[in-house]
Amino acid sequence: MRYLIQRLGFYLFTAWAAITINFFIPRLMPGDPVASLITRYAGQLDSKAIDSLRTLFGLDNEESVWQQYLDYWGNLFQGDLGTSFTYFPTGVSEIISQSLPWTLGLMGLTTLLSFLLGTAIGVYAGWKRGSWVDNMLPVTTFLSAIPYFWLGLIAIAVFAVQWSVFPASGGYDNSLVPAFDWPFISSTIYHGTLPALTIVVSAIAGWILGMRNMMVSVSAEDYVLVAQAKGLPERRVMFSYAARNAILPSISNFALSLGFIVGGTLLVEMVFSYPGIGFVLFQGVGAKDYPLMQGVFLIITLAVLAANLVADLIYLLLDPRTRREA
């Protein structure tokens, strides 16, 4: 319990830090980006958008930084992340709430899938050392070095352009109205397959290698030898003794590499024009839509923190040493 409260405290603290960093990034930048934006959008920005920009960059000289900071928090708690000007006059929170489910669905499913699949293969490869799986390791290394987005490009070139098996972009058939019915859901699956495959193929290699190495290390532990000496069935030794211990560092790594995976996944969304948060970020970056970019960054960070907390909970369940009696 104490461990849990400690972790919870840490994540709250990190969330505060991330939000504060987010607040200060525009204020610490040299130059006057607002002026250049106003010229860039010559006449297209109305006074409300310019106001929101001035607030974002802290150019309201009347208010102290402290007052701005408090206002910023106040707006956050009301769910107000500012106004986007690429989607003007839609609020940033609204855009994010529309795109977030797509990202959570795609990223959650593929991350979980690649973790589980990669871990299973890694367990096998580490246990049956010297088997054919080991010969696959150079290939796996090569795969893990490929940027996600490039693999996405190749997937589009092969499966959407060369053979039109899957669509090259989008999250669903545009002629459909989003609803909870079969035509829409099947269209979602159809559109999501290629991006999902891209992410799984890119991400899985890392899990295989990491888990294999942990299995190799754990297999040399005394308790695994004791399990063999006890004449336990192979499955019991492999899973209950070796894999059960080897997965612990893998779960802490899962938490740590989540930020990395998220980055890659956002890029895949960009490549596939998938209607998720990554694509929104891409458009925000292209248009220098600062409020949008910042909102997306904040939400991504909070989502990663939440996922980290879940990983911590799972770790807590799996490792008795972190459970302390009161």
Partner 1 sequence: MALQASESAVVAAADTDASAPRRDKLRFLRNGKTLVGLSILGFFVLLAIFGDALAPYDPSARGPNIMASPSWDHPFGTTQTGQDIFSQILVGTRGVLVVGFVAAVLATVLGVLIGVTAGYLGGFGDDALSSLSNIFLVIPGLPLIIIITSFLPETNDLTIAAVIGLTSWAWGARVLRAQTLSLRNRDYVQAARATGESTWRIIVFELLPNLTPVIATGFIGTVIFAVLSNITLAFIGIADISEWNWGTVLFWAQNNQALAQDAWWWFVPAGLCIALLGTSLALINYGIDEFINPRLRNEKADRSVTMRVGFTPVLRDQPGVPAGVAQAGSPARVPAPAPPPGSAPQGTIRKDDQA
Partner 2 sequence: MSSTPPVLEISGLNVNYGLGEKAVHAVRDINLTLHRGEVLGLAGESGSGKSTLAYAVTRLLSPPGVITGGEVRYHPRQGTDIDILSLDSEQLRAFRWSEISLVFQGAMNSLNPVHTVRSQLTDVLKAHRPDMTSAQRQKRAASLLSLVGISADRLASYPHQLSGGMRQRVMIAMALALDPEIVILDEPTTALDVVMQRQILKQLSRLRRELDFSVVFITHDISLLIEFSDRIAIMYGGRIVEEAAAKEIYQTAHHPYSHGLLHSFPALHGPRRELTGIPGSPPDLTAMPPGCAFHPRCPKAFEPCDQRVPALEPVPGDGSRTVACWLHADH
Scanning residues 242 to 281, which ones bind partner 2 (CB under 8 A)? 244-245, 248
Binding partner of 248, given partner 1, partner 2, none, CB within 5-8 angstroms per partner class: partner 2
Contact 87, 97 (CB under 8 A): no
List 142, 185, 313, 317, residue binding partner 1 (CB under 8 A): 142
| Closer residue to partner 2 in complex, CB, 196/227 | 227
Q: Which stretch binds partner 2 (CB under 8 A): 46-54, 145-153, 169-177, 222-230?
A: 222-230
List 5, 30, 174, 222, residue binding partner 2 (CB under 8 A): 222
**How many residues touch partner 1 (CB under 8 A)?**
85
Q: Does 322 bind partner 1 (CB under 8 A)?
A: no
Q: How many CA atoms lie within 13 A of 44 on its CB side?
A: 12
In whole angstroms, give the CA distance from residue 129 to residue 62: 68
Contact 215, 246 (CB under 8 A): yes
List 189, 240, 260, 306, residue binding partner 2 (CB under 8 A): 240
- Helical H runs in 181-243? 182-219, 222-229, 234-235
Q: Does 24 bind partner 1 (CB under 8 A)?
A: no
In whole angstroms, give the CA distance from residue 205 to residue 121: 10
- Going by C-alpha positions, the residue among 263, 261, 265, 257 that lies closest to residue 152 is 265
Binding partner of 236, given partner 2, partner 1, none, CB within 5-8 angstroms per partner class: partner 2
Q: Which stretch binds partner 2 (CB under 8 A): 28-36, 58-66, 117-125, 231-239?
A: 231-239
Determine whether 262 is exposed, middle or buried from the number of CB atoms within 10 Å of its CB (0-12, 13-18, 19+).
Answer: buried
Q: Does 157 bind partner 1 (CB under 8 A)?
A: yes
In this structure, the number of other CB atoms found within 10 A of the CB of residue 320 comes to 8
Binding partner of 240, given partner 2, partner 1, none, CB within 5-8 angstroms per partner class: partner 2
Interface characters, 235-274, with partner 1 (x: CB under 8 A): --x-----------xx--x-xxxxxx-xxx-xx--xx---
Q: Does 133 bind partner 1 (CB under 8 A)?
A: no
Report CA torsion sign: 228, 234, 236, 239.
Answer: positive
Binding partner of 44, given partner 2, partner 1, none, CB within 5-8 angstroms per partner class: none
Q: 92-127 and 182-219 helices cross at what angle (nearest 10)?
A: 40
